[in-house]
Structure 1
């Protein structure tokens, strides 16, 4: 088949592949990684905050002292040692009494989502998810040929009444609710204490499974995060997390805490996909949790990210044009911004790249292509001065767009809303 083109393969694709589209974030990586571009786009942790020399020595000892096992095949569920450490980590968030037998180690949080989809979703099934939601989850559900129906959020997270309405609209056919209740990606909002119980009650009454994704819960800036949903209800709640945000994403180690009756199906699905997770990566995380001051390291991350969040919010408050609003996250990695009337975050992207600043358009976080008035801004990776410079460049692009539209009478002069006020109202797309 020499000289073949993409068209020669199109008719051979499976139905699940034909529906796949490129991630908004992945498409930006090649541009956002250029040194002259200030990236507010990705969700990369600040790995330089780790004691890299000590981590390097630990990895060297792992290879030299335990290479015979750490460089060998492992078991599909993950090592017992790591699953025991994971249970200790979860206990810090309030998930008490979890059994290592009910933990399945995964290749990052992304594979955890994929396993849930493989076990539960058939083509045409309905998944309920916050609007906006994690772009990686949308990719998994799209590949499974599921229909995603978004549930509205506001400053207190997912709106229970909207969840009830979504269930009514789909005739109770939803397979599960996918939610990131704590420091949500991309919106940065957190589900309130009262709503956590209400959401769980609604799901329990309707027999709706809950898939709780919690990568950011330990990255709190203002006191302790609320207890996870899984800490409140054991049955019907799948708890997913990862070490990508609290240790190192390059190791690709995450996990699922599943109801016992489902654990074996998840293991079989994992073995069919990857045979077994990396024994070396698991050994590295186990050694890190067993021999290094990881709790102190999380405190370091919290301080670094708090400083950077404050720098981003200050720059937004000082520099953004009138009519812009944004969330004020109490943890995590992201701020969700709503643009002045008339601006389109996706259409504006080429001009932003030309101005050497990158962000993620809001459309990437909705299954239905909405979100054109929104953008996600990351504050974890860049230093405070770079964050301010990035906002300055972005504000300049927005001012140019507004000026062009004003010339043609497309946009009326918007009123200024400062970031401190916007913290109480995340914007129209979250209401």
Structure 2
């Protein structure tokens, strides 16, 4: 068999089948653009690390190397440093997880590795994963690599819809599909910005019990609420059916790449074996750095500082959207986290509009990157965590002008009715709500996630 692209890649015929659907994420594709100083980036979810006491953190890390170099620069345990695992349990207690034991914690290279490990342990090719629609783009990449099929479950302003989850479970059962788990970001969702309501949390735990459903709770933003104390985690309600993923990327430093998985002991054993096969052990220096930070620095006060900073930037975003966006544009109103999920007026396509936005020196992430089935063109994710408030206001102003220009273009060619807002049939829920339909009119399964099957439709 000759290579498919012999002049471009002489090894093209040797790659595993699972690589055929691999592609750059919508976020990574923007990196070269958002680094340009003239561009206001509302795209990447980069934490405001300059708000940290950098001198104190730098001294702390220097002291670690000079005083404990024999430990911090050496190999460590595949499960992670015992002291750090103890402190992780203290952090989770803020979200109501008071029964966690350090022996159940596996330290990972960010929660992204934790999600990859969990998926490796549980999923075979062709298995079904239920995930919110939209869903975190990094999770979709992990599921694609595992050759799993993703079925999106609709959500609204109160998060995942329990009735839609039960419908999906019943249909999967009727079709003989193997549902391995529900993947959910319940707090300040990425990308939607919404939070799962208290009644729905109880309903979803009840469904998990009735349908023997495993839940993977991904919660990097849970401590970053603006108006209330942290909500009790799903794991706080069920220690048997919920595996919890956590991270210090949003509350301390993303560059250290320290996350964790809280799982029952039998699962923990398999996760440790998987991480040893993958990376031998998580980096010792970064683990010691996080543990020392939690031991010596006022980290709770630092989290409060972060939330105040992000609240100010959230407010600048919402105020600018309210003042500047044309009629027919809708968006979520997050009460924590990093993101606003915006829906364009009927007929506009965020992916097609993106080059014109970049030309106007503003960047966002098209919604298509957050769906495994090719949907999402009428949406975009706006991130307010990194730019200063004045930059946010200018970025929203530029974006509004781009959207208005797109509307003018459509009016000129008389292709859509831009008067009374109408939801796009395959992507709107009616009434101007910024989410897709509760009962999709397209084939709900794709396989694998982000596969080539849907490239022509995007």
Q: TM-score with structure 2 length normalisation?
A: 0.90
Matches for 1:20-419 after TM superposition, within 5 Å:
20-171=22-173, 173-414=178-419
Count of aligned pairs: 426
In 1: Cα distance, 2:438 partner to 2:379 partner: 10
Distance 1:8 1:59 in 2: 45
Give the 3-state SS of the residue equivalent to 1:151 in structure 2.
strand
Residues 1:426 and 2:434 are matched in the alignment: yes
Cα pair 1:236 1:259 within 8 Å, conserved: no
Q: Is the 8 A contact 1:50 1:297 kept in 2?
A: yes
SS in 2 for 1:11: helix
Shift, 1:170, TM fit: 1.5
Question: Quick check: 1:179–1:212 contact (8 Å CA) kept in 2?
Answer: yes
State the shift of 1:414 in Å.
3.5
Contact preservation (8 Å) 1:117, 1:140: yes
RMSD over aligned Cα, in angstroms? Answer: 1.8
Check 1:87–1:222 CA distance in 2 against 1; reply closer, same or farther (3 A cut): same
The answer to whether the 8 A contact 2:154-2:436 is kept is no
Deviation at 1:424, TM superposition (A): 9.7
Q: CA deviation at 1:428?
A: 4.2
CA offset digits 1:392-428 (Å, max 9, x no partner): 11111111111011011123233589xxxx9994344
Q: 1:288 deviation in Å?
A: 0.4
Structure 2 residue matching 1:234: 3-state secondary structure: coil
**Aligned residues of 1:131 and 1:430 also touching (Cα < 8 A):** no
Give me the whole-angstrom Cα distance separating, in 1, the residues matched to 2:418 and 2:79: 58
Deviation at 1:369, TM superposition (A): 1.0
Gaps of 5+ in 2: 423-429, 440-458
Report if aligned partners of 1:239, 1:256 keep a CA contact under 8 Å in 2.
Answer: yes
Q: Please state if 1:14 is matched with 2:16.
A: yes
Contact residue 345 and residue 421 of structure 2 kept, 8 A: no
CA-CA distance at 1:6 after TM superposition: 3.6
Contact 1:326–1:427, Cα closer than 8 Å, also in 2: no
Task: Return structure 1 stretches of 4+ with deviation > 3 angstroms.
Answer: 3-7, 413-417, 422-431
Contact kept, 8 Å, 1:359 with 1:375, in 2: the verdict is: yes
Return the alpha-carbon distance in structure 1 between the equivalents of residues 193 and 420 of structure 2: 24
Q: Give CA-to-partner distance per residue, 1:50-70, whole Å, 9 cap, x none.
A: 011111111110111111100
Give the secondary structure class of the aligned counterpart of 1:105: strand
Between the aligned partners of 2:278 and 2:124, the Cα distance in structure 1 is 17
Judged with a 3 Å threshold, the aligned counterparts in structure 2 of structure 1 residues 321 and 429 are, in CA distance, closer, same or farther, namely farther
> Which segment drifts farther, 24-33 or 165-174?
165-174
Q: Distance in 2 between matches of 1:263 and 1:394?
A: 46
Question: Does structure 1 conserve the Cα–Cα contact (< 8 Å) formed by 2:137 and 2:369?
Answer: yes
1:53 and 1:429, CA in 2 relative to 1: closer, same or farther beyond 3 A? farther
Question: Unpaired runs of 5+ in structure 1?
Answer: none
8 Å contact kept, 2:181–2:216: yes
- Aligned 8 A contact 2:6 2:12 in 1: no
2-structure distance, mates of 1:295, 1:415: 48
Q: SS in structure 2 opposite 1:24? A: coil
Contact 1:112 1:255 (8 Å CA) reproduced: yes
Whether contact under 8 Å (2:164, 2:438) holds in the other structure is: no
Kindly indicate whether the alpha-carbon contact (under 8 Å) linking 2:129 and 2:150 is maintained by their aligned counterparts in 1.
yes
Contact 1:326 1:423 in 2 (8 A): no
Q: 2:435 & 2:153 partners in 1: Cα distance?
A: 15
